[in-house]
A and B are shown apart, each in its own frame.
Chain A
Amino acid sequence: MGARGGIWPAVYARMHWILLGLAALLPAVDLLLPPEFRLADLVRPIFIFAVLGMGLNIVTGFTGLLNLGVAAFMAIGAYTYAIATCDIYPFQLGFWTALPLTIAVGAAAGIILGLPTIRLKGDYLAIVTMGFGEMVQDSLKNLDVITKGTQGINPLPSPTLFGYVFKPETPLPWYYLFLALLAVVVLLTRNLERSRIGRTWASIREDELAATCMGINSMKAKLLAFAIGASFCSMAGGLWGAYLGSSGEPGNYDFQISIIALCIVIVGGMGSVSGVLLGAFVMIGFNAILLTKLTAFLAQHGWTSSDNVFTSPSNWKYMMFGLALILMMRFKPEGLLPSRRVKAELHEYDKDVPRQAGGATT
């Protein structure tokens, strides 16, 4: 395990900071490129989805509870943020008050979902969380007195920081705003992972009965994972609302969002913070950057048009998603940047550690 020397293990352990650092440099690199190759604008949604992935990673990656309803928490976050800030409601809070509120409401929603369901195991829990996702989406649609139904809540005011106003037409400040908030989430997640509660979550994921034998109250620990995970997902929703200048409409937070979040965690590497960052980059980057650029490129040369089903890359999106996932699961099931622990699970434990002679078979 990393004992093979060199600086690689140390680099690998800090990969999340390296990735964030590269992201911080991206706008500078962009200046050297012709406008059609610039990426920074398109990268902003990646940061938001990385926050969403961090939330799911706590529940699914660290604690081992499959959650298929994170879109619901994102929706709750976006609508909380919208209701708190939009001038058609009486609150009209600023970004820096509304965001913590969004996080708190997300945590409360996590506990409300968790309390009655946390005793369920495996697939059963996954199905309940999936149902919760549908429930929230439909509620937002039908509670139109509060949520404006399918119109969504808009426009939302621009965030401000020390008097500076983040305007939609200047993307660069937004870029660093989201990057900084993502860095805070990464820092928090890393600290959680390495703390006593992180070890507790890992023990529950590995063997709940053995964890109970150590005196761990697994219900409490799981509920905490749910609450913290939901608060990050809700924060992602709040950022999404700020980014769009709108709550979005309920249909934006459908099952597909939950699946994309799960793909981010799986492709990146379950339980791996740097993996989630890279996973978000790959999954959202593919969708928001590669396909957009490719479509524009093809259209420019007259090789495709938006009404041609066969030549427009966007129409091949899910086909390529699916293929990528199949290849991934076949060749690198532990993810692109796996956590040490999960890697050990999927590859033979004892490959690089010679088993002591005389040890018995089990």
Chain B
Amino acid sequence: MGGPLLKAEAIRAGYGPIEALKGLSLSVAPGEIVTLIGANGAGKSSTLLCISGIHPIRSGAIHFDGERIDKLPAHDIVKRGLVQVPEGRRIFPRLTVLENLQLGAYLRKDLDGIKNDFERVFALFPILAERRAQAGGTLSGGEQQMLAIGRAVMSKPRLLLMDEPSMGIAPVLTAKIFDTIRELNQQGLTILLVEQNAHLALQLAQRAYVLETGQIVLEGPAQELLADPRVRKSYLGEE
């Protein structure tokens, strides 16, 4: 294995006078699931927005597959295979399920590959096949999350950034979605997962970072962090 697929070095970013990320560094190796956990406002979503080029960084550097990407516009980063499933799903509510998925494949020209990926998404989430002609907004929260993941898969990502896939979703469906994330990873997809549900995320991921007020305070194999007393106290709700 070569170098890391994604490498962020000492990135700083903010909103006006507020500094959200204070020199954060992280890396994701090919084939890994890495999770980023932390409290509300720690900077988890900001990290993902910076990596995918939607929010600019003030200093530091981000490399994807050896290429520096932090100066590229967001749509060019997607072209390189770094795709984000945004927080709150953000499917297109008035477009049909099928149109949502077609937009996922927006940048692709390989018709056969697109057709295969439709099959793949429908195999992962049979409910989407059933509802392909329905407007995305008519789906339940969990189904919308499935659609958001399916839409991202349609863009043939090499690295998938996922922001809070469990947000606002019934526990039964959360479990189903986490199973799917594992399945996608086993099919070879590298994943960087941001989660508030630290317990679920740490069980799924191989490695984890703990983020506090814009800085990484702890990192290591997920299993170790799951056992770490500091993590158990702050994020898993133990005394």
Asked if B92 contacts A202 (CB within 8 A), the reply is yes
Bound-state Cα–Cα, A42 to B142, Å: 55
**Which of these, A213, A344, A360, contacts B140 with CB under 8 Å?**
A360
Interface size class of B (residues with CB under 8 A): 35 or more
CA distance A216 to B141 in the complex (A): 25
Chain A 180-204 near chain B by CB (<8 Å), digits 1 or 0: 0000000000000000100110110
The winner among A1, A209, A210 for most chain B CB atoms within 10 A is A210
Closest to A2 in B: B133
**How many Cβ-Cβ contacts under 8 Å join chain A to chain B?**
115
Known A-B contacts A1-B133, A210-B86, A215-B78; the reply to A358 vs B170 at CB < 8 A is: yes
Given contacts A1-B133, A199-B102, A359-B143, contact A213 B94 (CB under 8 A): no
> B75 to A360, Cβ gap below 8 A?
no
Which B residue's beta carbon lies closest to that of A215?
Answer: B78
CB distance from A48 to the nearest CB of B (A): 31
Whole-angstrom distance between the alpha carbons of A207 and B139 in the complex?
17
Set of chain A residues within 8 Å of B172, measured between Cβ atoms? 358
Contact B79 A202 (CB under 8 A): no
Q: How far is the CA of A322 from the CA of B152 in the complex (A)?
A: 46
Q: Known contacts being A356-B140, A358-B170, is A215 close to B95, with CB within 8 Å? A: no
B194 / chain A contacts, CB cutoff of 8 Å: none
Known: A203-B103, A210-B90, A215-B79. A359 touches B133 (CB 8 A): no
CA separation between A362 and B52, bound complex, in Å? 26
How far, in angstroms, from A206 to B90 measured CA to CA in the complex? 9
Picked from B52, B142, B155, the residue with its CB within 8 Å of the CB of A360 is B142
Q: In the complex where A1-B135, A210-B90, A217-B73 touch, is A360 in contact with B141 (Cβ < 8 A)?
A: yes
Is B86's CB under 8 angstroms from A213's CB?
A: yes
Nearest A residue to B78, CB-CB: A215
- A207-228, CB under 8 A of B: which get 1 and which 0? 1011111111110000000000
Residues of chain B with a CB closer than 8 A to A1's CB = 133-135
A341→B94 contact, CB < 8 A? yes
Of residues 66 to 106 in B, which have CB atoms within 8 Å of A's CB atoms? Answer: 73-75, 78-79, 83-86, 90-95, 99, 102-104, 106
- B124 CB–A CB distance under 8 Å: no
A199, A207, A217, A344: which contacts B99 (Cβ < 8 A)? A199
Q: Is the CB of A355 within 8 A of B140?
A: yes
A361 B90 Cβ-Cβ under 8 A: no
Chain B, Cβ-Cβ closest to A210: B90
For residue B53, give the distance in angstroms from its CB to the closest CB of chain A. Answer: 9
The answer to whether B106 touches A349, judged by C-beta atoms less than 8 angstroms apart, is: no
How distant is A243 from chain B, measured CB to nearest CB, in Å? 37
Q: Which residues of B contact A350 (CB under 8 A)?
A: 138
When distances are taken between beta carbons in the complex, the residues of chain B under 8 Å from A212 are 54, 74-75, 78
The residues of A with any CB-CB pair to B shorter than 8 Å are: 1, 196, 199-200, 202-203, 206-207, 209-218, 341-342, 344-345, 349-350, 353, 355-356, 358-362
17 contacts between A and B (CB under 8 A): A1-B134, A199-B95, A206-B93, A211-B103, A212-B74, A213-B54, A214-B78, A214-B103, A215-B78, A342-B94, A344-B135, A355-B138, A355-B140, A356-B127, A358-B172, A359-B141, A362-B168
Closest 5 CB pairs of A and B: A359-B140, A215-B78, A360-B170, A341-B94, A210-B90
Q: Residues of B at under 8 Å CB distance from A? A: 52, 54, 73-75, 78-79, 83-86, 90-95, 99, 102-104, 106-107, 127, 133-135, 137-144, 151-152, 155, 168-170, 172-173
